[in-house]
Structure 1
Amino acid sequence: MKIENPWKQNPWFESVAVAQRRAQKRLPAPVYAALLAGSERGQTVRDNQGAFAELGLLPHVAGQAAERSMTRTVLGQEVSVPVLISPTGVQAVHPDGEVAVARAAHNRGTLMGLSNFASRPVEEVVEACPRTLFQMYWTGDRDVMVQRMQRAHRAGAIGLIATLDWSFSMGRDWGSPEIPEKIDLAAMVRLAPKVATKPRWLMQFGPRHLPDLTAPNLAPAGGAAPTFFGAYYEWMTTPPPSWADVAWMREQWAEISGTPFVLKGVARVDDARRAVDAGVDAISVSNHGGNNLDGTPAAIRLLHPIATAVGDRVEVLMDGGVRRGSDVVKALALGARAVLIGRAYLWGLAANGQAGVENVLDILRGGIDSALLGLGVSSIDELTPETLLVPDGFHVP
């Protein structure tokens, strides 16, 4: 009797952990390793997830609400679930890349974040999800940055995310995956032994559509898109921004678009206060998913002191380590307006394309609802720090 592959019969997965395992099974080793990327020993990557497990929930046995609400207004937009798509670069794990993710975000009623280093142009992504936030690094001169803002505005972006925390150490204790500058014959020959073990992954691209490792949103007007490493070189040779530069960037976006400006990568109370002074509309408490300075505490440890310090002067988002709906609930209880996810949806994308990303969002939504039910609250608006069991010394002042 022939036994069918259960994955082929049922591509749905029941947790983000299962999506990760399926992504690992499907992707060539260096591609999967790139999704796990964290700097140096990976201390921050581990703490981003582990810290959530230190927070407890105390459920009620009776009297729970029959209906629970998860809708919220974030950056002026109503979302059906307080989980946004964080911008991540070069989503070459699937042929449709960022467009598939954007469609999933649109179908699930949330916001899409598109990276400067994305593999698909902002125009295509906004068409797939009209509620797209465009993310920029501080890279290139000011005229170039203004041109990129103008392009994002013309495409219809509903906000700008400035990510300024990236220092990106190549020194990883487990080794950095090889990422070719471009997919040409030489790269194909060199990587063939690793890719040959995952024929299903390569076949989905088709013979004329190999993985795209360029950054079209960094292309000059009328010019060719740089490779990922070309874009990285531009970032490396751009002097780091000052707080005056942050204010300038915010002012430029206000003149061009007038839509929200988010500063991503805030990990200190004093920086959060400076961000308020610079006029930003929102901040994201983040350590770049462990890809920045290793040893930075988990984002969830930083969240409550920062949210308390800025009050209601700006919206506070958080990203880093979210894998379950209960993680989202814990972040909201500690002051986040919403969370952003990165690796979680990339694993869903690798496992099953657009449907896989929708699957991940559905898992998180279901987990949020389950947590709200157990806690006996009818809305995410009722979540407070008192909802949680927080151990002494958890928060980083």
Structure 2
Amino acid sequence: MSSKPTWLQNPWKQNPWFESVAVAQERARKRLPAPVYGALVAGSERGQTIDDNQRAFTEIQFAPHVAGHQAERSMATTLMGQEISLPVVISPTGVQAVHPDGEVAVARAAASRGTVMGLSNFASKSVEEVCAVNDRTFFQMYWTGQRDVMVQRMERAHAAGAKGLIATLDWSFSMGRDWGSPEIPEKVDLKTMVRMAPKVATKPRWLWEFGRTGTIPDLRAPNLAPPDGGEAPTFFGAYYEWMTTTPPTWDDVDWMRETWSQISGRPFMLKGVCRVDDAKRAVDAGVTAISVSNHGGNNLDGTPATIRVLHPIAEAVGGQVEVVMDGGIRRGSDVVKALALGARAVMIGRAYLWGLAANGEEGVGNVLDVLRSGIDSALLGLGLSSIDQLGPDVVEVPDGFLRPLGV
């Protein structure tokens, strides 16, 4: 018999395990208030890029073997100096208030599966809290604020134990969605709770999760708090800082990478590369890694799927920097296709957020396990013993599939 008071026992307890990311998404949809779920799935404008990110994987086919399969298969690799047990890492996403434990739950799940946690500086949990539970944390920064402010944020991340820095430059606030943008309140106070009560009340399981911890969804960004102990800005406060910051130049990228190197001596990733010429400029800037990314379809709609632009970029610079990819990963077979076309690893975003919404830390771990199983199955069918053996020869890519931008 449980020793917890009756009101702390979960009246909606069910079999928590799910067999696919699609099931995690459906559970998240049923569990979350409509505006919260809408914020997770929305792309920009007509949603062309977010759709292509997923659909493009269906155009790539495998070339399996009928015999000679390997009894043991390895998925281990390294990324920016960190050993990881599978080529899937957590992409930084802002304000993970779909669950009370937020980024801390995600970081714990990633640590338990032996992989990297990417933490956004728009996160709802501090870099100190996250690094304490996952010692393979990369801290992510947007180009926001004055340089002295950015230096303070780098110094704080380094002091907390961040093993690398991710600079995300492919971001704009998505506007004009054809289906309407979800409502995101500036802050959650009594007035906001009363106004949104009709939408939230229909999701009692989600309310129960927060109620049992005595918390409310926090839309503040503690990693952007001023060093003097002042209050952390809200999401929209952080957005205003971004709006009023002059967009970065390649000289600014040089400065950011060099400053982080002087502070920490640790690796630096540039996220948001879609063009070969930009990838070459990133190499010239001295970055350790690049992420081939279109911000999950939340930036410039009409950008090709990242899997379409990956191979030309990897061919051009893969021997000089580490190449990772994000966008549209929903299955282990997607991961294998990305690795075959030149990625060292992939980053996932929506997939683990759905797992977090569905079942907290265990749900995130479940998503990583689903991807691991799918990778293993693909390696088995391809007759390979390691992800290191993956290359273009194991996939069939149709004519016209690749998009060599900026060549």
For normalisation by structure 2, the TM-score amounts to 0.95
Q: Is 2:402 the partner of 1:390?
A: no
Separation in structure 2 between the aligned mates of residue 376 and residue 160 of structure 1, nearest angstrom: 36
Give unpaired runs (5+ residues) of structure 2: 1-9
Please point out which of 181, 194, 197 is paired with 1:192.
197
Separation in structure 2 between the aligned mates of residue 137 and residue 338 of structure 1, nearest angstrom: 22
Runs (4+) off by over 3 Å: none
1:241-390 superposed matches below 5 A = 241-390=248-397
Aligned to 2:156: 151
Aligned to 1:85: 90
SS of 1:204's equivalent? helix
**Residue identity in the other structure for 1:274:** R
Aligned to 2:15: 10
Separation in structure 1 between the aligned mates of residue 122 and residue 147 of structure 2, nearest angstrom: 18
State the 1:250 CA deviation.
Answer: 0.2
**Residue identity in the other structure for 1:271:** D
State the 1:58 CA deviation.
Answer: 1.8
State the 1:168 CA deviation.
Answer: 2.5
**Residue identity in the other structure for 1:353:** G
Deviates more, 1:186-195 or 1:140-149: 186-195
**Residue identity in the other structure for 1:210:** I
Q: Is 2:214 the partner of 1:215?
A: no
Is residue 168–residue 293 contact of structure 1 (8 Å, CA) maintained in 2? Answer: no
Separation in structure 2 between the aligned mates of residue 311 and residue 161 of structure 1, nearest angstrom: 18
Task: Give deviations 1:225-262, integer Å, cap 9, x for gaps.
Answer: 00010000000110100000000000000000011100
Task: Give deviations 1:109-154, integer Å, cap 9, x for gaps.
Answer: 0000000100000000000111100000000000000000000000
Separation in structure 1 between the aligned mates of residue 205 and residue 23 of structure 2, nearest angstrom: 19
State the 1:62 CA deviation.
Answer: 1.4
SS of 2:13's equivalent? helix
SS of 1:133's equivalent? strand
State the 1:325 CA deviation.
Answer: 0.2
Task: Give deviations 1:51-77, integer Å, cap 9, x for gaps.
Answer: 000000122121101111100011111
Separation in structure 2 between the aligned mates of residue 311 and residue 166 of structure 1, nearest angstrom: 24
Separation in structure 2 between the aligned mates of residue 92 and residue 311 of structure 1, nearest angstrom: 36
State the 1:9 CA deviation.
Answer: 3.5
State the 1:186 CA deviation.
Answer: 1.3
Aligned to 2:134: 129
For normalisation by structure 1, the TM-score amounts to 0.98
Please point out which of 25, 30, 33 is paired with 2:30.
25
Aligned to 1:115: 120
Deviates more, 1:265-274 or 1:56-65: 56-65
Task: Give deviations 1:44-100, integer Å, cap 9, x for gaps.
Answer: 000000000000012212110111110001111110000000000000000000000
State the 1:161 CA deviation.
Answer: 0.1
State the 1:170 CA deviation.
Answer: 1.5
Is residue 329–residue 368 contact of structure 1 (8 Å, CA) maintained in 2? Answer: yes
Task: Give deviations 1:6-57, integer Å, cap 9, x for gaps.
Answer: x833110000000000000000000000001210000000000000000001
Separation in structure 2 between the aligned mates of residue 19 and residue 12 of structure 1, nearest angstrom: 9
Separation in structure 2 between the aligned mates of residue 200 and residue 323 of structure 1, nearest angstrom: 25
Task: Give deviations 1:138-187, integer Å, cap 9, x for gaps.
Answer: 00000000000000000000000000011222210010000000111111
State the 1:206 CA deviation.
Answer: 1.8
Separation in structure 1 between the aligned mates of residue 382 and residue 195 of structure 2, nearest angstrom: 54
Separation in structure 1 between the aligned mates of residue 205 and residue 60 of structure 2, nearest angstrom: 40
Task: Give deviations 1:316-341, integer Å, cap 9, x for gaps.
Answer: 00000000000000000000000000
Is residue 274–residue 309 contact of structure 2 (8 Å, CA) maintained in 1? Answer: yes
Is residue 318–residue 342 contact of structure 2 (8 Å, CA) maintained in 1? Answer: no
Deviates more, 1:41-50 or 1:161-170: 161-170
Please point out which of 42, 55, 65 is paired with 2:70.
65
Identity value in percent:
79
SS of 1:161's equivalent? strand
Is residue 223–residue 232 contact of structure 2 (8 Å, CA) maintained in 1? Answer: yes
Aligned to 1:168: 173
**Residue identity in the other structure for 1:285:** V
Is residue 247–residue 278 contact of structure 1 (8 Å, CA) maintained in 2? Answer: yes
Separation in structure 2 between the aligned mates of residue 8 and residue 16 of structure 1, nearest angstrom: 20
Separation in structure 1 between the aligned mates of residue 331 and residue 164 of structure 2, nearest angstrom: 26
Is residue 274–residue 292 contact of structure 2 (8 Å, CA) maintained in 1? Answer: yes
Is residue 79–residue 345 contact of structure 2 (8 Å, CA) maintained in 1? Answer: yes
Aligned to 2:7: none
**Residue identity in the other structure for 1:374:** G
Deviates more, 1:363-372 or 1:161-170: 161-170
Aligned pair count?
A: 393
